[in-house]
Amino acid sequence: MSRQAVRPINEMSVSFPALSENERFARLAVSGFLSQLDPNIAELSDIKTAVSEAVTNAIVHGYRETKGEVSMQVRIFGGGRITIKIQDKGCGMEDIEKAMTPLYTSSPEEERAGLGFTIMATFMERVRVKSRPGKGTTVLLERTVQGKQRL
């Protein structure tokens, strides 16, 4: 729809190999880029947690802890609106709705709680997931950042 017509004020993209060491890097890259919006501590903590969930999922589920590339794009729009896209070209999902059900996990033996998507949905305003078995998964996180001065 008209969404494409709205141009971001600023944006950044990074991609990195699917290594668990990069989960921390992804959080830091996002919070570094968003520092221009002067987010408050609670907002930053929420965003970092949601990013960590999506990136970890790409690494542990998408690529099943094997080689692969994770890409991430962060966009800033007017009014403090942000979008964060996290993409993998891993195994994908058959049933997105089932995957997003709270407490559902395909790997309970690895001590997973099945709460990643629930955390993303709670800490961001909108979560959209596109996935195709054998092709990969794209997670789009959206929310508004109020920033410190606007509190």
Partner 1 sequence: MTELKTVQGVTVALLSGELDHHTARLMRCEIDREITEKRPRRLVIDFSGVTFMDSSGIGLIMGRYKLMNERGGSVTVARPPVYIKKVLRLAGVDRLAPISDTLDDLLPAEDYAKEAERIEQTSGQTN
Ligand X SMILES: Nc1ncnc2c1ncn2[C@@H]1O[C@H](COP(=O)(O)OP(=O)(O)OP(=O)(O)O)[C@@H](O)[C@H]1O
In this structure, what token pair is assigned to residue 67? 């080689």
Residue 38: CA count within 13 A, CB half-sphere: 6
Q: Is 112 annotated in the active site?
A: yes
The footprint of ligand X on residues 110-129 (CB under 6 A) is: 112-117
Q: What is the dihedral of CA 63, 123, 126, 113, to 10 degrees?
A: 40
> Count of H helices and E strands in the chain?
4, 5
Q: Select from 116, 119, 127, 136 the one that contacts Mg ion (CB under 5 A).
A: 116
Q: Is 57 annotated in the active site?
A: yes
Partner from partner 1, Mg ion, ligand X, none contacting 27, C-beta within 5 to 8 A by type: partner 1
Q: Is 22 in the site for ligand X (CB under 6 A)?
A: no
Q: Is the dihedral of CA 114, 117, 121, 123 positive or negative?
A: positive
Q: What is the DSSP letter of 59?
A: I
**Binding residues with ligand X: total (CB under 6 A):** 22
Partner from Mg ion, partner 1, ligand X, none contacting 14, C-beta within 5 to 8 A by type: none
Q: Is 119 in the site for partner 1 (CB under 8 A)?
A: yes
* Cα–Cα distance for residue pair 46/28, rounded to 1 Å: 13
CB of 6 to partner 1, least distance (A): 30
* Cα–Cα distance for residue pair 29/12, rounded to 1 Å: 9
Site string for ligand X, 60-99 (x = CB under 6 A): -xx-------------------------x-xxxx-----x
Q: What is the contact surface with ligand X in residues (CB under 6 A)?
A: 53, 57-58, 61-62, 88, 90-93, 99, 104-107, 112-117, 137
